[in-house]
């Protein structure tokens, strides 16, 4: 008999593991079937249990999002939605690039702590300073408290020396950098884990 895992799509965190799928996944959560022997999974459940007694995946996600409204604990719910949209858009651009042979660029900003309260304004000013025009089809999103991502359609930034006034920026271009772009799509890029700044 399979077991089911409720996984937060944004981070890959396992919110819950259940024996019976008796609820729909809330927005931002995916359900993964875990084919395993009953004894193995019950042993796992006995060791780990639920993260909150009696809580559903929906309640666990809500609890996590509410905790996220505290800057000390992570980004706000609005930032989480922005990040989710960014990764969905990145997946679309990768598919579009493969099918239509269209290039695109992703810019990643590691923000200095002083620029984080007005992150989008800082990033837009940096793009303007480097003559990178942001079109309506492009996308800017807060990925983490310290990180901002920008998707630029039909753009090649390999020859752009992107140097923000503060902080750091890097560019990834399709198709030349498929591997790191796919790692970013899977939330495996090092910038998503931590900033170079402690503050």
72 pLDDT exceeds 70?
A: no
What pLDDT does residue 35 have? 57
Pair (107, 55) in one structural domain: no
Pair (57, 82) in one structural domain: no
Pair (60, 124) in one structural domain: no
Distance CA 149, CA 140 (A): 6
Domain-embedded: residue 162: yes
- Confidence label for 75 from pLDDT (cuts 50, 70 and 90): low
How many independent structural domains does the chain possess? 2
62 pLDDT exceeds 60?
A: no
Residue-wise pLDDT tens digits, 106-126: 999 999 999 999 999 999 999
What pLDDT does residue 152 have? 93
Pair (97, 129) in one structural domain: yes
Residue 140 has phi, psi (to 5 degrees) of: -120, 135
Domain-embedded: residue 139: yes
Domain-embedded: residue 199: no
Instruction: Give the domain-ending residue among 68, 85, 119.
Output: 68
pTM for this model (two decimals): 0.62
Q: What is the pLDDT of the chain when averaged over all its residues?
A: 77
- Confidence label for 42 from pLDDT (cuts 50, 70 and 90): low
Residue-wise pLDDT tens digits, 135-178: 888 999 999 999 999 999 998 998 888 899 999 999 999 999 99
């Amino acid at each position: 008999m399979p077991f089911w895992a409720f996984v937060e799509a944004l981070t890959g965190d396992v919110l819950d593991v259940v024996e019976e799928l008796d609820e729909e996944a809330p927005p931002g959560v995916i359900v993964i079937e875990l084919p395993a022997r009953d004894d193995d999974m019950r042993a796992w459940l006995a060791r780990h249990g639920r993260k909150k007694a009696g809580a559903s995946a929906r309640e666990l996600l809500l609890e996590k999002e509410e905790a996220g409204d505290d800057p000390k604990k992570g980004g706000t719910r609005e930032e989480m939605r922005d990040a989710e949209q960014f990764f969905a858009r990145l997946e679309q651009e990768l598919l579009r690039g493969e099918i239509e042979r269209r290039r695109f660029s992703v810019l990643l900003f590691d923000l200095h702590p002083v620029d984080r309260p007005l992150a989008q304004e800082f990033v837009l000013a940096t793009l303007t300073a480097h003559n990178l025009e942001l079109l309506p089809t492009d996308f800017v999103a807060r990925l983490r408290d310290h990180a901002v991502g920008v998707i630029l359609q039909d753009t090649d930034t390999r020859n752009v020396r992107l140097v923000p006034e503060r902080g750091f920026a890097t560019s990834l271009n399709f198709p030349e950098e498929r591997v790191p772009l796919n790692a970013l799509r899977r939330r495996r890029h090092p910038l998503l884990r931590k900033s170079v700044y402690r503050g």
